[in-house]
Amino acid sequence: MGITPLSLSKIKENAANLYEGVVVAAKRARKLNDENKIEFNGLLSTITTGRDDDFEDRENPEQLKISNEFEKREKPHIQAIKEVRDGKVEFRFKEKK
């Protein structure tokens, strides 16, 4: 997988300034990462494993398949930056009381 440069100057078009856009992207990346973890753990919990204490280190092909699928996905921080850059993320400031 090659490294693709992302133009951060396009983030300024969808946010008041670059720093604001980066903060929004970071929060979105955390949310995407949490969603991925929940999905990954949910898929892993459906796999039945023979609980032999002597064979704990044995590889499970189903588990490897799921792990490889998640490794091939786009990383959350790259996905979040692209979403902010393309204007797919809506954000607002919390109002002070």
Residue with tokens 């393309």: 86
Q: Is 15 helix (H, G, I), strand (E, B) or coil?
A: coil
HSE of 38, CA atoms in CB hemisphere, 13 A: 6
Say what the pTM is. 0.78
Question: From its phi and psi, is residue 75 left (phi > 0), alpha (psi between -120 and 50) or beta?
Answer: beta
DSSP 8-state class, residue 73: S
List per-residue pLDDT tens for the chain, 97 residues long: 577 787 778 888 888 888 999 999 999 999 999 999 999 999 988 887 666 555 556 678 888 999 999 999 999 999 999 999 998 998 887 888 7
